[in-house]
Structures are given as structure tokens and as C-alpha cells.
Structure 1
């Protein structure tokens, strides 16, 4: 039995994988709060993640009916880019600033300039520094909370912190490290010269954790946590990874041609490749994967959150919202929504706000507005997929995950807008499943049983045939017109 944990923005999920049966035998979920302020601050207390982890784990354990001592290894997935700082005693110094925090946009702009702009960033990191990456959070902390900055002894990402809680060991791995802004994705090494832009004395470099390969273990669960969770004495904790890296494993996206598209709080598209990234578009992040290759990725800030805001404005439940959106024509009667309610990451518009365009007395209706938010968020993902295709990424199939993938209307919309067939994995908790599969891989490797991750994914990742949809030719043409209007508005307002 293998436990997969996914610590996301809204909550933490847990799954228990029965490796012999090749199936999930237990699932659990617990939410955690979000500190959210109008200036773009988005933070969480790491203690909230631990509380949610324990709740989700106990739910999964109860559902599975297994003896907790049967769990052999744990794999942890976590929201990327978050900054967790510990003092010399290993205590959390302050709340974690999250991936969606845009309060640090001025610091990101300052650091990007110091790096020599986009090209300088590409030369030193292999990617272009973006608002939300961990680096700018460190500069923000130095400028706004110098006393906290001076106490830093360890710099961790959210999944690194959960691994630390489990094992007492400080470590990081290549995939999640890719989104820090002080890691070179080509050489797979920390870049202390970039940290020196913030602290020339080298103090931040000494706070960095050692790096692990994807199949390696951080260590064993420490005795106090073993007793707390009712585990056996030799439970390994795999390297884990960022939620997108684990989501790739959990959707079987570890070879060219398969692309994962997440319709969650954020919108994310990523495709695995074994080819080292070269000169890509600045907004296409060529992160390392947690399977030994690379994971070119784009992320949009506004997806289900934007859709839920419109739904709640009209007092609709999900079924009513989908029904309203389905009543409206493709193109929402000429309405275009630029849904940048929380700024935007791709396109890189951290200080943008939402815009509703093309309104008139004939098209102003709840149905059109409901469709406009689905189309606007989907067009942002299409913008990103176009960047991937331009970089030579093959798109044979889109595997959809996240809450939005439960909507047949939205799935068909994605197939038509992206002009690619779509399908959903049977297990929707892809990142948690990916963590469990990686834990299995790590455990087998540690016991001297060499097995490819590809074979493990083929056995444990199953697709739901009933969710499969193909593009409709007439709809594709209509969406192309609507997407053209979206791009025209984007260019007029933001020169993108």
C-alpha cells in the first residue's frame, strides 16, 4: 500500500494505492483557509497543511479498511513556488507566501531587471523569472520584514516542508525546484549567484536544501510521526514534487504527445519531454519533470475561481450555471471576458484586472455572461497551448483533470478550442495519485527491484472512456472567430 498526498491551494487530498490490485482503495480531502488581501497577498500557515493532511489521511484510511501499518511509502505533491522559511530550530518563521501571491510583483520586476531582462534570466536560469516564483518572495521578505529575513536558516517549498515534517530531513527535488527562480533547469543546479542579488553575503545559499533525483527517498518517517499516524517503522518518503509534476505522473503524461490540462483554481498545461529545452517563448516555463525529463508548462491564474465568481454573482449552483452557459451561443453573443481578476501569469500581466467587453442591450444576459467566463478562461489556456505548439510540442491527446473537467460542456469546449481530442483519467486526484505512484517507484528502487515509471503508469493510470470527446468541425470554426476577438482585445488593451 502506498500513500499519496497533494497539498493544494484550497485543500489537501490523500489517496491510498493498492499496488497489487492496481487500484485506489481509499480517498480523503480536507480544506484549509487562505489569507487573501486586496493588495495581492495570498498566504497560508504551514500548520494548516499538516492539519488537513492528517484529516485527509484518516478519511482515506477509514475508507480503505486497511491496517495503516501496511503502508510502505509516502509521496507528497505540493502547490509550487510557495516560500516556507524555517529558523535554526526548524520552526516556521511566518506564513507561507503562495504561488498566487502577486504582492511581490514589484520585487519580481526589480530582480528581472538585475538579471539583465528576459534574455539575462534565460541565460542564467533557462527560463524567464515570473511573478509568483519563490525568488521575488525572498526579496519582498528582506524589504518588508527584515527581522524575519534575518532568521532564515532553511528555505523550503510547500512539499519540501511536508517532507520535512514527515522525516525531519531537509531536501528538495529538481521538478519543484524549477519554479523557484534560483535553479537552472538546464544544468539542474541551484544558482547561488541569483540569490546573491538579494543577499551578497551568501547566507541564502547556505539555507538551500540538497537536491534529490526523482526516484530517491528523502528518508524514513520519523518515530514521532510514525506513532501519530499509526504507521510501521520503515515507511519511506519519496522525493515528491510540485503538483504539476506529480499530476503528470498521475495522468500518465511521461512521454511525448500526451498533454495534461488542469481546470482547477489555476489553469495549467504541461507536456513531458526527454529533450532539454532550448530557446523557448519567455512565457513557456521549461521546468524539470519529476520523472527524469522536462515538463514545459504554462499556468494561468484565473480559472475555476473566475467561473465560480460569475456563478455566485447570479446565485446559481453548478448545474444551473452549466445550463445557462449551454443556452448561450458560441462567442457569447459577442461578449468577451478577459478574466484577469487576480492579475495574470500567462500572458504576463500581474497587475491586470478583469474586463468585460462587447456588451449591448441585445446580448446582456446571464447565459452569455456564464458562457463568456468559460470561454475567456479557456482562451487563456489556448494562448498557452499555441506557445507549446510553436515550440514543437506534439499534442495527440489532452488529459483533463481538476474540478472543471467534471463539466461535459467545458470538456467539449476545450476539445473545440484546442482542436484536440480530450479524455479524463478515471482517478481525478491526479497529483495525489502521482505521489503514490512515485512512492511505489521509490520503494521498488530502494529494494533493488528496477522497474520503469512508464510501466507503473501503464498499470495504475486508467482513463475514463465515457469522458472522451473529439473536436466538432463547426464549433471549431465558431470558436476561432471568438478567439480572434479575444486576441484583438488583448492586443488593444495590453499590447500582447
Structure 2
């Protein structure tokens, strides 16, 4: 049909892959699909994934989305890929994956990261050289870990890719990377937008890593067209252009229209993130703020907490509660959970920087140890971590007129109200909760119109395709705002004691 322009956006996350079919002319999402991934967890905080699962999930989610949309895959004009950031995918000369991908939430490489950070001259040295402070989740420590733990694998490395780079390689046969996702590697300079080749030579003087780096491309550039065999497997037009893609946070920014200063996106996913667009690389002196590049031509100062719906999920499972029952219990307990505090650092923590921390429950008494208070305490605890991060961004000069909420947690009205109250800022959700997959589809439309040299700007596309959900708008309640302040300060004191 001539009155449609169809694009596929796929987000490869930690828990699964999600696909959306977007009509860029009407701005409507016509269909969606999803397929899950499992984690390989081990001692010392090992968190890895089998990349074969990503390809299967990508295929299943895409076919589901096409079916749900009732469209012919041959009419898809472009594909955008969003991927979980920081993960390490190693390929040999033949393009085969050498070992499971080490993920963003893996903390096994904390010792290697500490050594690399020391070599860079600590946090201040890392900020000066790269514009970010490397953290255990970043890709660079995973490379040093591979060299030391798996020298046989290391000796066969021909390509070093991030998850979304790997999916683009699978689709097109071309190895390249885009500035937004590259920002989270720890060997990329966010000010100059170039690889820090010397850093990799210091890890491996042979130059193997330097030779394995993908080519860097601009956000509006296409990687290429899809390989015929893969097109057939997905049921997609082989002429479809594959866009540069990006990290899930960068794609979430596009999918919430966060492409100019003033907007703030907050994601309530497995991890929690808060980010805002900037047109200059104003690097914060605070190590917790990562001034990544955006996948829309600017920068994306960002904070990330490691524990969000993964922490609330554990408490839900403990009490065997479905989501509605859990939310009811959270609503039953008063603000501050009658003195019960949870520091939800079940996975270690990045903001505040406590990679070795574990979770703790504080303030328990004979009378306040109830299911409702524990459910309330885990939601409050995770949200306080985001408030801490938002305060850091605000100190760095970011304005926040409203917060756009995305991710699984944003579906809960109780949680939305809590975010509005704790942040003292109005909150609204986008109609399309899969903001990263939508952002990837919008970016694909942008790349396609850039390639043809006519058509829509990214701002045009976001204006048409990003729709806010008026029913989700939540304003802070002045009494709640006041009641939360001492509870937040109590949280800060508990964290300081760690």
C-alpha cells in the first residue's frame, strides 16, 4: 500500500527481545511481538547470555509482530536494532561467536575494572581521558578478563562487538558501531567520538584488539541492506535498510521524543535509568553521571541503577504475588512503610557506586514486619536510587519540566504516583511502552529518509510517532512530597553507613 511506510524496530534486552512494526506515515504502531531470553548466572556475579538465543528471539518476535500487524514483510523499508548496552560479543575470523556474551549486569570483572581505573589515574583520570568513569559493567574490563581467564579465546578474537553491533552484523554481514552505544565501552572518547586505541594497546600490545574494532558510523547512516538468507528467515524484504541502531537507552530516548534539551526519560526496567538530551558534551565532575553520546546526533547524560523491577520481582516471588496483588499491598502501606527500609542492592549497585554491596532490610520491629511494608519498602528503595541519580543530573544543570516514564514498572499507577511524589515532578507515559523498540523503528525511518536525501527529519518523525498517554499523567501530591522527604533522607543515611 502506497499510503504506508513500514519499519521494524527490535529491542534485544536482558529478559527478552521485543519487536514493533511502525507505520512512519500515520505514526501508528501496527503490531508487536516478544520472545524471552534466559541468563547464565554463576559465582562472583557472572551474568552471560547465549547469543544464539538473541537470534532465535529476534526471529520469533519479528514474525509475531508482522502477523499481529497483518502486513507483508516484503513491504518493510528499514530495520532498527536496539540492544542492551556494554555487553561483549567476540567473533573469530569466520564471524563465529567465541563464547557467551558477557552482559552489562555482570560484576565478575570488578577486579579488572579496578586495575584499569587505577591505570587511568582513578575517576578523575578516566573522566579527563574518556569523558566517562569506567564501571565494572562496561565492556573494557570484560576484554582484560578474557585475556587473563581465557587466553585461548583471546588469541582467536577477530571482532569485538556490542550486542546491537552483533545483531547488525548478523543482519548485514558488516561490523560497525554507532557513537551512542560505543560510549559505554570504556575505550571510546565521548568528546571526540573516537575509539581510544591506546587504551586497548595497553591491554594487549600485540594490537589484536585495535584491529578487531568495528568502524564507527553516524546515527543517521545505514549499516547496509539485509542478507538474503536472513531476510528469508525473518520474512522481510531483502532490500530493507538496516539503520545504525544503538543502545537501549539511546533508542529509548528517541522513542520518547527526548531529542532536544528539557525532556527527561526515566526507565523502570530490570535496571533503572534516568537520562536527558544535551547538545554539548558537558561532562559532569560526578563519576556516577555517564555523559554518553546519543543516537540522534547529540549527547545523553545518564545514570543507571542496577536494581529495579528485578528487585521488586524477587519480593513478589517470595510472597507468590501477581502484579495486581503486589501493587495493592504497596498502596496499603503508608509512605515510609512504617519505618521499614530496603536497600535493594541485590545485584551490587552502580549509582550509588557500591559494586560489592548486597541488599538489606532495616528498621524491622515486631509490629512493622508485614508483607505490605516489605512490598512498599522495595518500591521506595529502588525509586530513591533514581531520585539520587536525578539530583545528580539536576546539579549538572539539567532542567526537568516533566518526566517521561517507560519500562515495565511504568504500567503501575501506584509506582507512577510514587515517582511523581519522590521526584516532585509531573510524570507521563508514552502510549507505546516499548520505547526502545519504537525508537529503533523511528531511527530506521530517519536513516531511510537520509539515504534517499529527501523526507523527514528525526524531529518530524518523533513528532508524528511518539504519542503521550494522557490517562497516565500523574502530578505530585504536595502532602506526599513533604512526607517522602524524611524517608528519602533516612535512605541516604543508610547508604552513607555502607
Please give the range of the TM-score, normalised by the shorter of the 2 chains: over 0.9
C-alpha displacement of 1:5: 0.5
Picking from 74, 80, 90, the partner of 2:79 is: 74
Query: 2: CA distance between counterparts of 1:479 and 1:139?
Result: 43
Query: 1:185-233 CA distances to partner (integer Å, 9 max, x unpaired)?
Result: 0000000111122102221111000000000000110111122223223
Question: Which runs of structure 2 are paired with 1:340-355 in the superposition (5 Å)?
Answer: 340-355=345-360
Given that residues 59 and 233 in structure 2 are in contact (C-alpha distance below 8 angstroms), is that contact kept between their aligned partners in structure 1? no
For residue 142 of structure 2, the aligned residue among 127, 137, 140 is 137
SS state at 2:338 partner: helix
Counterpart among 110, 117, 121 of residue 115 in structure 2: 110
1:265 aligns with one of 261, 270, 288: 270
Question: Secondary structure of the equivalent of 1:214?
Answer: coil
Residue matched to 2:319: 314
Q: Distance in 2 between matches of 1:276 and 1:344?
A: 25
Correspondence for 1:8: 13
Structure 2 SS opposite 1:298: strand
Deviations 1:250-309 (A, max 9, x none): 001111111110000000001011122234311100000000000000000000010011
Preserved CA contact (<8 Å) 1:82 1:99: yes
Match of 1:50 in 2: 55
* Equivalent of 1:333 in 334, 338, 353: 338
Q: For residue 3 of structure 2, what is the aligned residue in structure 1? A: none
TM-score by length of 1: 0.98
Task: Determine the structure 1 residue equivalent to 2:386.
Answer: 381
TM-superposed deviation, 1:450: 4.8
Local SS of the residue matching 1:127? coil
Answer yes or no: is the 8 Å Cα contact 1:114–1:197 preserved in 2: no
- 2:173 is aligned to 168
1:492 Cα deviation after fit: 1.4
Secondary structure of the 1:261 match is: strand
Query: 2:468 and 2:360 mapped to 1: Cα distance?
Result: 37
2:415 aligned with 1:436, yes or no?
no
Aligned twin of 2:210: 205
Match of 1:400 in 2: 405
Output the CA distance in 1 between the equivalents of 2:284 and 2:143.
27
Deviations 1:15-36 (A, max 9, x none): 0001222201110000011101
Q: List gaps (5 residues or longer) in structure 2.
A: 1-5
Q: CA RMSD in A?
A: 0.8
Structure 1 unmatched ranges of 5 or more: none
Residues 75-104 of structure 1 deviation map (CA, whole Å, 9 limit, x = unaligned): 000000000000011100000000000011
Structure 2 match to 1:147: 152
Q: Which residue of 2 aligns with 1:449?
A: 454
Structure 2 match to 1:128: 133
Shift of 1:321: 0.7
Aligned-partner Cα distance in 1 for 2:416–2:434:
17
Aligned pair count? 493
**Aligned match for 2:464, one of 459, 477, 482:** 459
Aligned to 1:283: 288
User: Cα deviations across residues 374-420 of structure 1 (Å, max 9, x unaligned)?
Assistant: 00000000010010000000111101011100100000000000111
